[in-house]
Amino acid sequence: MSTLVGNPQHEAVPQDISVGRERLANFGSYLRRNPALVVGLVLVVLLLAIGIVGPFFVNTEHAAPTSVLPDQSPSRAFPLGSDDQGRDLLSVVVVGLPLTIKVGFIAGIVGLGIGTILGFVAGYVGGVTDTIIRTLADVLLTVPGLVVLITFASTIKGTIGIGTMALIVASLSWMWPTRTIRSQVLSLRERGYVQVAKMSGMNTPEIIFKEMMPNLLPYLAGSFVGAVGSAILASIGLEALGLGPQNEPTMGMTIYWSIAFNALIRGLWWWWLTPIILLVLLFVGLMFISIGLDELANPRIRRSNT
């Protein structure tokens, strides 16, 4: 009498599907418990979609000066109007908003990356290394950041670009992440699982990346969102002073040109109102994402919402 043996691969498929459905259901229920994260993601994704989808419907060449009739109020031909330099503001938004977000993302990645490395090294290694890194971060935090940024930007004003602007902002955005991540690592290194990892023979990089880093991922994600928002705000401040990329239609430079040409006094409200509204929506979206991620990083908030 023969015995039928099932194929393990065929048996595993329904189980994998059920596990995937369960994870998807858990993720959906979590999003329903965390509406702030949903609202923030929707806002930011919609703003990012302007730069992705917009070029298929809008002529981006009209973002250059003297491409259309100047000082046109919003109409069917120019939904957001045109500025004094003859640029279609709808095209400026499609081209410039992604550039503004790009500056924030680059500066946030660089600044948080440096702060994460220094924070982990200082908090876990300790000793003289910790003293040097902590002292350097504390000293630089006392320096007026805006003054330093203005000095850097004004020195290389003629050659500044999007990448240069992001690096200028990132040069002073790593100190605070260094301090906060260091404090988190100081508490984690005394946990039982870290001590067990040490006794099992794991070296320092393995303990940091395999044991400590996964536990700090929600906190790092929230810190990244905050770093992006701070970087965008700093870049807009520099651009509003005329220290940004002169040939790029970023939101900050659009505000600068509206100030330079007295758009507020002349009643050209569509020139300065459009970038301000978009930036407000961007910051609101980042704020909601940060609030939503704070639930993941803070067990007390997570328990109170369940």
| pLDDT tens digit sequence for 97-117 | 999 999 999 999 999 999 999
Distance CA 54, CA 75 (A): 18
pLDDT tens readout for residues 234-284 = 899 888 888 888 888 999 999 999 999 999 898 899 999 999 999 999 999
CA separation for the pair 306, 304 (Å, rounded): 6
Residues 287 and 98: beta-carbon distance below 8 Å: no
Higher pLDDT, 92 or 304: 92
What's 88's DSSP letter? B
Domains recognised in the chain with CATH numbers: 97-306 (1.10.3720.10)
Residue 129 CB neighbour total at 10 angstroms: 14
Buried/exposed 165-179: b ≥16 CB within 10 Å, e otherwise: bbbbbbbbbbbbbbb
